[in-house]
Structures are given as structure tokens and as C-alpha cells.
Structure 1
Amino acid sequence: MIPSTITRAVPADADDITALIRSSGVYRGPYAPMTAGYLVTPEYIARHQVFKAVDPDGRLLGFYSLLVEEAELDLAFVADEAQGTGIGRRLMEHMKERAARAGLSAVRVVSHPPSEDFYRRVGAERVGTVAPVLPKITWERPELRFTIA
């Protein structure tokens, strides 16, 4: 396990978070159009519950964005070099704690298809499928739900 700390992202983190998304290896090949040109703005970070995992040197290892009003996990990414180290699991546990504090009973996730197994391993259940959103998203996406205790 990589030593890490989870803290609230601040608007100044927008460029680093955007760079993490755009460099993600899971969005190569047929999934590349989804993150091409993607931008997380300082305003987005200020408006939503965005939390980041950083190593002791402050290097960004991953992050998530919880949209409380929509009860939805909007974004969740782990840096390629941190995949398989438990960072994603820690971020999802943190997200569930934040959702519980916000009074949510469930959190929706529209998943990148290759990420579905990860979400299921950390407690989400599949509840359906979301249709493509052309022209950028040409594939169906799994819809999952975390039940919040």
C-alpha cells in the first residue's frame, strides 16, 4: 500500500486533476474520446465535494467527485502508477463516509465499462445500463449503486 492522505481538493488542484484524467490508461483506445479535451475547472471543485489522495510528497494519486444534490459519484480516477495499491478502495470508502454525512441513502455511479468490476468489489451493485451519448460516448455504460448505511 502506498502511504497516502485524503484531503479536500481546492480550486488550485484543477490542472493536476485534469492532467490525471487525460493521462489515464483506462481511457485509451475506443474510450479515448470520452476524456479527450476533458476539463475540471476550479469552479467545479469549489462547487462539489472533490477529494484527492496524495502521497507524502504531495503527488496526486487519485481523486473522486461526489455530487451530493444528485447523489452521484461523478468522477473517480486513480493514477496509472497507483492502480492496484488500495488507493481506489480508500477513496470509495471515504466517498461512502461523506455520502453518509450528507444524509444520502444511495449513490449512483455510471461507470466506465472496464471499471465495473472495481466498483462491484468495493460494494456497488449493478442496477441497469445507460445508453450511449453520441457522438462522444458510443458504448453502453453500467449503472451501479452504492447503498449507504
Structure 2
Amino acid sequence: MVTLRLEPMTEEQFRRYRQGAEADYAENVAASGAMALPEAREKARTDYDRLLPDGLGTAGHHLWAAYDGAVEVGMVWLHVEEKSDGRHAFGYDFEVRPELRRQGYGRAVIQAAEELCREWGVVSIGLNVFGFNQAARALYEQMGFEVTSVQMRKRL
């Protein structure tokens, strides 16, 4: 079993992350069929601007780099908020470097995030996954995540 260490992202890591993540998100939105790539790129930019207006300093948002020893293998982005039934987290991103996928790092990234959330008294972690991302969906389900809603569409 892989055990990872989470460290707060540096500004340089955040700059690299945001550039790549924004592009990946746009491609996934387009691949889902929700909109064409030009509109998806604009959506990605505005979503990231809205969610992280102060970058790493945005209140309630926590971004970490994940390390296996000295090797940076991925990252975690969580938003934590207090609700009437306790503290809840939403995982905006759990990422593993492409060349390191299918080696147990995805599971380890999520486990590290879960451990941190438990330390903070978080009672649940939510996330969103694109329907076509079967590998991620399977991993999340294996790790105990349950479907809470489904968005569907029919092309005419």
C-alpha cells in the first residue's frame, strides 16, 4: 500500500496546477457533450476565477501537493464548510500525474485527503465525476463513495 504525504501547494505549484487543470476541465466538459470546446474553455476560466478568487488564499479552500518520498505524484483540492449537521468537504480535484496512474496513487491521494479531513472533524467528502470517466468512477465506488445525484441528457 502506498502512503503519501500532503504538503500545502506553493505559489509556483498552484500556477502550474491551475494552468493544466483549467485546460483538462475544459476538455472534460467538452468530452461530456455539455458544450463545445471554445465555450468549455470560457466556462473553465470563469469557474476557476469564481471558486478561487484569491488563489491559494481563498477562504475554505485547501490545495496540497501529494508526495511519495521526494517525488511529487499528485494533488488534492478540498473545500471545507460548516453546515447544520457538521463539517463537510467537497473534493474539487484529486489528481495523479498521468505517467504515475494505475500504480495505486489515486487511492493513496484520496486516503491521505480522508485522513486529513478526519483530523479536521469533517463528516463527509463529496465530489463530482464525469459520467464517461469509468476508471475514476470505479475507484470512487471501491472507496465507498455513493452516487447522490445523476445529471442526464439526450441528444436529439
TM-score by shorter chain over 0.5: yes
Unaligned runs of 5+ in 1: 133-137, 140-149
Show CA shifts across 1:6-47 (max 9, x none): 312133322221244256598397148497364566833223
Show CA shifts across 1:52-103 (max 9, x none): 1246665x43211110115211122222111112221111011111211221
1:51 matched residue in structure 2: 64
State the percentage of identical aligned residues: 16
TM-fit CA distance, 1:2? 8.4
2:31 matched residue in structure 1: 30
Of structures 1 and 2, the larger Rg is shown by: 2
Segment drifting more, 84-93 vs 118-127: 118-127
Residues 9 and 52 in structure 1, CA contact (< 8 A), matched pair in contact too: yes
Residues 80 and 19 from structure 1, CA distance in 2 versus in 1: closer, same or farther, beyond 3 angstroms? farther
Unaligned runs of 5+ in 2: 82-87
Q: CA RMSD in A?
A: 3.7
Tell me how far apart the structure 1 counterparts of residues 95 and 40 of structure 2 sit (CA, whole Å). Answer: 12
Residues 30 and 40 in structure 2, CA contact (< 8 A), matched pair in contact too: no
Tell me how far apart the structure 1 counterparts of residues 144 and 41 of structure 2 sit (CA, whole Å). Answer: 29
Letter of the 1:17 counterpart: Y
Residues 128 and 44 from structure 1, CA distance in 2 versus in 1: closer, same or farther, beyond 3 angstroms? same
More helix by share: 2
Give the SS at the match of 1:71.
Answer: strand
2:141 matched residue in structure 1: 120
Give the SS at the match of 1:93.
Answer: helix
How many residues of Structure 1 are paired with residues of Structure 2 in the alignment?
Answer: 133
TM-score (ref. length: structure 1): 0.66
Residues 73 and 109 in structure 1, CA contact (< 8 A), matched pair in contact too: yes
Are 1:82 and 2:95 matched, yes or no? no
Give the SS at the match of 2:122.
Answer: coil
